[in-house]
Structure 1
Amino acid sequence: MSDTVSVTITRQQNYQFLVDFGDAMPTLNADLPAPLGQGEGPSPEHLLLAAVANCLSASLVFSLQKYKQDPGTVRATATATIGRNEDKRLRVTGVDVALSLGKPAAKLEHLDRVLAQFEAFCTVTQSVRTGMDVRLTVSDATGQRLGA
């Protein structure tokens, strides 16, 4: 089975682009930061981080719900490391993602099983990992770091 997803990106001016996700979703303005752009919208790096963080968060919620567990508020912070490759071109060389559950680990049944499998459900992160390192930490509402 093969599905497709598409977006249309149209230049508005300079480095500002309108991202059109289709009729069912609002558009998004994207822009490069200064000095090239005006920083009036998320950059491509921001969009990449949002995709990875959102996918991991959704996969964690999906895995918990398989066991009828509600994690409460799930928060993800994704940070990109930008560096130069062998040709001195800027690249995203790695992504660090910190996921935080809205409940203490002790209140979530089967959490060890969930943590062992949820990353495998994340289409975007698993795809990105083929080209760069994605490092993940998960903590609960008390700040306790959980094994993944």
Structure 2
Amino acid sequence: MSDIVHVTLTQQQGYQFLIDFGAAMPTLLADEPPPLGEDSGPSPAHLLVAAAANCLLASFLFALSKYKQDAGRLTAEARCEVGRNAEGRMRVLSIDVVLRLGKVAAEIEHLDRILGQFEPFCTVSQSISAGVPVHVSVRDGRDTVLKD
């Protein structure tokens, strides 16, 4: 089974593009940072790192739900390093994502199993990691590192 995801981008001015996800979703204005653009919306790198973090949180939530567990409010902080590759071209060099649980680890049953299986379910980060290193860590509500 495969799904088709379709978006339409329309140039507004300069490097600003309106991203249309379809009738049921709001549009989004993307832009490049200076000196190319005006930084009036997320850049392609922002969208990439947000997609990876979103997918990882959803995969973690899916793994939690398999064991009927509630980890409290889930959050993610994500960053990517953008720099030049060996050919001097700008590239996303790495992505780091920190998932944070709202509860402490002791309150979540089967946490070792959950931590061991959620990443392979993440379509986006698993696809990105074929070309860009993606580092994922998980911390609980006391900021204790559960996975690094």
Amino acid at match of 2:97: V
Matched, 1:116 2:116: yes
Structure 1 Cα separation of the partners of residues 132 and 126 of structure 2:
10
TM-score of the superposition, structure 1-length normalised? 0.98
Structure 2 Cα separation of the partners of residues 2 and 75 of structure 1:
29
Cα drift, residue 53 of structure 1? 0.3
After TM superposition, list the pairs within 5 Å mapping 1:6-25 onto structure 2.
6-25=6-25
Match of 1:135 in 2: 135
Match of 1:107 in 2: 107
Amino acid at match of 2:90: L
Structure 2 unaligned spans of 5+ = none
Match of 2:93 in 1: 93
Match of 1:76 in 2: 76
Structure 1 unaligned spans of 5+ = none
- Could you list the structure 1 runs, at least 4 aligned residues long, displaced by more than 2 angstroms after superposition: none
Structure 1 Cα separation of the partners of residues 2 and 101 of structure 2:
32
TM-score of the superposition, structure 2-length normalised? 0.98
Cα drift, residue 71 of structure 1? 1.4
Match of 1:58 in 2: 58
Structure 1 Cα separation of the partners of residues 27 and 73 of structure 2:
26
Q: Write the deviation string for residues 53-79 of structure 1: whole angstroms up to 9, x where unpaired.
A: 000000001100111111111111111
Match of 2:29 in 1: 29
Over the matched positions of the two proteins, sequence identity in percent amounts to 58
Task: Report the number of matched residues.
Answer: 148
Amino acid at match of 2:98: A
SS of 1:88's equivalent in the other structure is: coil
Match of 2:67 in 1: 67
Amino acid at match of 1:73: R
Cα drift, residue 147 of structure 1? 2.6
Amino acid at match of 1:50: A
Amino acid at match of 1:38: E
